[in-house]
Homo-oligomer: A and B are copies of this chain.
Amino acid sequence: MKLVECSPDRLNLEVHNKSILIVLGDCMTLYEGRGAAHSEYGDKIIIIKQDGSVIVHGPTGFKPLNWQPDTIHVSFHSEEGHLVLKAVRGKPRETLVVKCRGTYGCISHEPRSSGGFYMYFSESEIRDILRDNPWMIEDGVRITEVEKPVQPGFIDLYGVDKEGRIVVFEIKRVKAGEEAARQLYGYVEKLRKSIPNVRGVLLAPGFTESAIEFLQKNGLEAKPIDLKKLYEMYSERVKRKAGLSSRSLLDYMG
């Protein structure tokens, strides 16, 4: 990591060399593309990564003020002695301009290693656990298809209950609202054209009142899933994959 001169030429060189660049300055931003936005002069952190991603942060908040993910062009130039960054995206056509009234400093870093990233406890993992342990959903149900395509979308789990009725399961890893219920209804509706008597079951750790109402009104079911129990079942798998202790996850769940 090194401090570099905050001049357009030097910064363009660093960008060209695929270094990570961080600029701290008193800047304003202009964005035009799918939307349009601008920010007034104020302290900003500008990050330009190897792949041309540009991110502009203000002094507070988790979200960037402006960004540009897939740039086809990133360059600095000078306007009236002030540093200006222009970042252009190709598709969709979008332009981000950052004008710096002053700069506090510029840092460049040649990245060495990236390292993998792994996410757990996604909806697809919950789906796989339930697929392998259908008794956790209800007694006697048999899962016959996973991610069954319908038009449009995918049915998370598809199976037959102990009385031989077809069941469609829609899984949510967070509390389910009416939108999730509508999604399930869409799938069930499509199947009912060809298969009468289809059951639709929404599986989630919780449900909003309006979700419950919608489900009842449309002859669908809500079944709460116990995330803690799911992970008790699968703590070994979680540990193996993540090298994480599953204990703290369980603490959170409880």
Contacts and interface: CB of A to CB of B under 8 A. Distances in A.
A178 B150 CA distance: 13
A20 interface: yes
A154 interface: no
Contacts of A42: 113-116
Contacts of A208: 152
Contacts of A186: 178, 182
Interface stretch (A62-70, A132-140, A141-149, A194-202): A62-70
A41 B113 contact: yes
Interface in A20-50: 20, 22, 24, 26, 28, 30, 32-45, 47, 49-50
A22 B40 contact: no
A210 interface: yes
Counting chain B CB atoms within 10 Å of each CB, the highest count among A26, A30, A61, A151 belongs to: A61
Nearest to A247: B32
Nearest to A213: B151
Contacts of A117: 37-40, 58, 65
B61 A51 contact: yes
Nearest to A39: B117
Interface stretch (A8-16, A72-80, A118-126, A156-164): A118-126
Given A55-B62, A59-B111, A107-B107, A24 B1 contact: yes
A17 interface: no
Nearest to A65: B117
A26 B113 contact: yes
A60 B19 CA distance: 11
A7 interface: no
B59 A49 contact: yes
Nearest to A20: B59
Given A61-B51, A210-B152, A38 B243 contact: yes
A112 interface: yes
Contacts of A109: 24, 43, 104-105
Nearest to A70: B62
25 contacts: A20-B43, A28-B115, A32-B244, A32-B248, A35-B122, A36-B119, A36-B120, A36-B121, A36-B242, A37-B119, A37-B120, A39-B117, A40-B117, A51-B60, A58-B117, A59-B111, A59-B114, A95-B248, A104-B109, A105-B107, A105-B109, A107-B107, A151-B210, A179-B179, A182-B183
Across chains A and B, which 10 residue pairs bring their CB atoms closest together, nearest first?
A42-B115, A40-B115, A1-B104, A1-B105, A59-B111, A62-B69, A36-B120, A51-B60, A39-B117, A42-B113
